[in-house]
Amino acid sequence: LVEGYKKTYKNFDEVLPTLLPRKGWWLDQLFQYQGFWLSTFALRGSMLINDHFNTQPTDIIVATSPKCGTTWLRALVFSIFNRSSFDFSDHPLSKSNPQELVRFLEGCIHVEGSTSFIDGFPSPRLLSTHLPYSLFPQRMTDDTSGCRFVYICRDPKDVFISKWHFANKLRPKDLPPITLDEAFDSFCKGVSHYGPFWDHVLGYWKASLESPKKVLFLKYEDVKKQPWDRVRKVAEFLGVPFSLEEENNKIVEEIVKLCSFENMSKQEVNKNETRNSERPISNADFFRKGEVGDWVNHLPPQMVETLDQITEKKLQGTGFNF
């Protein structure tokens, strides 16, 4: 560990016992930090970013609350940005899961006990995060800093169902599955990784209104309905709009097809179900149904009503709607 990191770790050790703990959805505990529920890994990551991350004006950060379409958006941003570098018939996305191509910022910041790993990425760096906007340091959220965030949100009912399935895949085999009731209770109270879900969404929503050049706000449902439109929008936001020639060559359509659930979930690399103590999540765990509205198959009417009521209350006066 470099000296600076040691200081942050010490700070972490001091802060942790002062935070309210709650049981997580699988093994780890969650701690309430500045209004959000974080694992110790995410909390330490956030502190390290805050103290040490050397932001560059060209950084592009794919930001999501878990289960809102991180995998999809990583793939889209990667293929939009690198569209001239690769052939669609032999593309890195056919060989690698998107998490290997757009690396997790709060994970990478830990590597080598210093920033040297992440400083070594060629720019522009494509990174990904689950951290709420309010936890990023001002030097990253300042209008003048240059680094940009692309955010995607999703209907809370679909997020909840996706999360519940995911948690049960991750839970150690000697633990019983987390019941729908138990998970629902936690989700509604905001106690889920990087939750409360609504506060996460609203943080980025407000930032996108205040700084539209810094934060692009997307909805999973819109990308499903009009993927071509959204791909063009992301390209424009990133400063790499499609040329007439690219439009004529149907590059937008190629990107949409490449990143579709149907195409990605059938790639060998994404069918890999290997999990171990080091990597408790397999590539296959990130592909379930990839549909809008699957909640109808799982949520009883009472839960739908409760969740809708919470959403309505949380969004009141914000001008935002799912």
Collapsed DSSP state (helix, strand, coil) of residue 18 = helix
Q: Is the peptide bond before 196 cis (omega within 30 degrees of 0)?
A: yes
Catalytic-role residue among 52, 91, 110, 130: 130
Considering the rule CB under 6 A, would residue 79 count as an interface residue with ligand A3P?
no
Write down the residue that tokens 């943080």 correspond to: 203
Write the interaction track for ligand A3P spanning residues 152-181; mark x where CB under 6 A is met and - where it is not.
------x---x--x----------------
| Least spacing, CB of residue 170 vs ligand A3P, in Å | 11
Considering the rule CB under 6 A, would residue 70 count as an interface residue with ligand A3P?
yes
For the chain, strand residue ranges (E) read 21-23, 29-33, 36-38, 60-64, 103-104, 126-129, 148-153, 215-219
Q: Residue 164's Cα: distance from chain center in Å?
A: 16
Considering the rule CB under 6 A, would residue 216 count as an interface residue with ligand A3P?
no
Residue selected from 5, 72, 78, 198 as contacting ligand A3P according to rule CB under 6 A: 72
Across 96-131, b (16+ Cβ under 10 Å) vs e yields ebbbebbbbbbbbbbeeebbeebeeeeebbbbbbbb
Residue selected from 49, 62, 63, 68 as contacting ligand A3P according to rule CB under 6 A: 68
Considering the rule CB under 6 A, would residue 121 count as an interface residue with ligand A3P?
no
Segment lying near ligand A3P (by CB under 6 A), choices 65-73, 186-194, 204-212, 246-254: 65-73
Q: Which of residues 271-310 bind ligand A3P (CB under 6 A)?
A: 286-290, 294
Give the tokens for residue 26.
Answer: 């699988």
Give the tokens for residue 198.
Answer: 């609504």
Closest alpha carbon to 258 in 78, 68, 66: 78
Task: Rank residues 72 and 187 by Cβ distance to ligand A3P and give the closer one.
Answer: 72
| Least spacing, CB of residue 166 vs ligand A3P, in Å | 7
Residue 130 is among the residues annotated as catalytic for this protein: yes
| Least spacing, CB of residue 10 vs ligand A3P, in Å | 33
What single string gives the DSSP state of each residue in 79-112? HHHTTTTS-GGG-GGGTS-HHHHSEEHHHHTTGG
| Least spacing, CB of residue 286 vs ligand A3P, in Å | 5
Name the residues that contact ligand A3P, by CB under 6 A: 64, 66-72, 158, 162, 165, 259-261, 264, 286-290, 294
